[in-house]
């Protein structure tokens, strides 16, 4: 039986045109946030002011300029991590009584959380409960022998998969969720005898939540995040009032440690902070590696194989031993073809110049 592996990158989401426009590129997040009125709402609620101040201080770009000047959010977050690493090098922010350093620590780590939340808000505003025709056609073409790997946080493929009626988030994500959050209630995970199509989101997902403990910073305790992952049951349901409520609206306590629950996403840095994520995501990487090793074909849709992400490159190289056939789907395929050839020492079998072209070739 044919075992195909589909790998979705940012280009697959950018191909979606919703009522509020397309998903932003890495340099368009702030411009798109302005266009959909999100920055105005942030200003009214004094949200993410530390993030905007950080950008002005480090890049010389004011909030009004952010609304019209392309700013690479990967560069912003990478610089933020450099500042945090330099500040936290000796761990002195944990010294009791050093209130000034503690305040700076809270501000820096808070800015990091706000940046991730900002990314989530933008994507949710643009894609909340949206059903993408391209993703739906792809989902309808899948069999239980296929695997979908995604580096995207958004829920476009999630909505499409569940809409087919042949995929269930409780098992399809292959994440051992601790609990399901449905309508503000914490429920036991549901089980199913048929796990269905494997959908592996290696950089996390907006509807996966994990614990971040703000009090550990304030009270001079080592920063520690929770290992448990929760599923926010919002796919195709208006469980949450809107995208502004995705983060910090749920909380739980474990071993007398209080946690805010935030979206579990691997921040878009040049060097991805994989070491700080819950172990559940590492399990997904192992599963993805196993699937690529036995695949009959790997289809890259809008995924550029970035040179800065060595972990994802190592994943792709798992196909080299068996010379697995590759198909490239990208509006600018030549750089992707070149990177793939350097990694595998052979060329892709097929190349499509758009997601739509590939979908048109599918025979359901």
CA distances from 220 to 55, 102, 215, 217 (A): 27, 7, 8, 5
Burial of 2 (0-12, 13-18, 19+ CB in 10 A): exposed
Burial of 345 (0-12, 13-18, 19+ CB in 10 A): exposed
pLDDT score, position 248:
47
Other beta carbons less than 10 A from residue 204's beta carbon: 27
Radius of gyration of the chain (CA): 21
Q: Chunk the chain into consecutive blocks of 10 residues (it has 364) and report each block's average pLDDT, rounded to whole numbers.
A: 88 89 86 86 66 90 89 90 75 46 69 81 84 95 94 93 89 88 76 79 90 52 61 54 44 63 78 70 92 95 90 92 93 94 93 96 80
- 180: enclosing H helix or E strand: strand 179-182
CA distances from 166 to 4, 113, 236 (A): 17, 35, 15
CA gap 193, 341 in Å, rounded: 40
pLDDT score, position 344:
94
* Side-chain-facing half-sphere of 98: CA atoms under 13 Å: 14
CA distances from 222 to 82, 212, 217, 292, 323 (A): 19, 12, 7, 38, 46
pLDDT score, position 227:
73
pLDDT score, position 213:
59
Predicted TM-score (pTM) of the model is 0.87
CA gap 33, 57 in Å, rounded: 20
What the block records as the tokens of 56 is 């002005």
CA distances from 293 to 16, 282, 320 (A): 30, 17, 8
Sign of CA dihedral 230, 178, 272, 199: negative
CA gap 173, 57 in Å, rounded: 40
β-bridge pairing 4-8 and 147-150 = parallel
CA gap 342, 339 in Å, rounded: 5
pLDDT score, position 44:
58
**How would CATH label the architecture of 4-17+130-175+193-205+276-361?**
3-Layer(aba) Sandwich (3.40)
- 286: enclosing H helix or E strand: helix 279-294
CA gap 54, 125 in Å, rounded: 24
pLDDT score, position 85:
77
Angle made by CA atoms 237, 5, 304, in degrees to the nearest 5: 90
pLDDT score, position 222:
41
């Amino acid at each position: 039986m044919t075992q195909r592996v589909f790998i979705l990158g940012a280009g697959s989401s950018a191909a979606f045109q919703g009522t509020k426009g397309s998903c932003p590129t890495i340099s368009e997040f702030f411009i798109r946030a302005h266009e959909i009125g999100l920055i105005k709402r942030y200003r009214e609620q004094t949200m993410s002011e530390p993030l905007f101040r950080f950008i002005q201080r480090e890049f010389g770009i004011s909030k009004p300029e952010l609304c019209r000047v392309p700013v690479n959010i990967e560069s912003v977050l990478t610089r933020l991590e450099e500042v945090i690493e330099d500040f936290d090098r000796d761990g002195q922010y944990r010294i009791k009584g050093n209130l000034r350093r503690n305040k700076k620590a809270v501000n820096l780590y808070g800015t990091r959380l706000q940046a991730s939340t900002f990314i989530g808000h933008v994507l949710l505003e643009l894609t909340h409960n949206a059903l993408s025709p391209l993703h739906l056609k792809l989902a309808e073409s899948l069999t239980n022998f296929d695997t979908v790997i995604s580096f995207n946080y958004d829920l476009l493929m999630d909505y499409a998969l569940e809409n087919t009626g042949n995929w269930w988030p409780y098992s399809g994500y292959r994440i051992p969720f601790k609990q399901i959050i449905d309508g503000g209630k914490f429920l036991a995970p549901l089980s199913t005898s048929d796990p269905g199509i494997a959908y592996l989101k290696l950089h996390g997902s907006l509807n996966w939540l994990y614990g971040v403990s703000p009090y550990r910073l304030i009270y001079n305790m080592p920063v520690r995040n929770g290992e448990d992952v929760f599923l926010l049951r919002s796919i195709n349901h208006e469980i949450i009032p809107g995208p502004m409520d995705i983060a910090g609206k749920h909380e739980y306590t474990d071993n007398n440690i209080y946690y805010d629950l935030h979206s579990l996403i691997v921040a878009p840095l040049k060097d991805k902070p994989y070491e700080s994520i819950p172990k559940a995501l590492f399990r997904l990487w192992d599963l993805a590696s196993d699937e690529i090793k036995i695949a009959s074909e790997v289809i890259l849709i809008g995924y550029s194989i970035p040179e800065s992400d060595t972990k994802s490159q190592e994943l792709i190289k798992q196909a080299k031993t068996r010379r697995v056939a590759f198909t490239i789907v990208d509006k600018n395929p030549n750089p992707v073809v070149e990177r793939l050839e350097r990694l595998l020492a052979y060329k892709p079998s097929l190349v499509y110049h758009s997601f739509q072209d590939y979908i048109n070739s599918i025979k359901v």
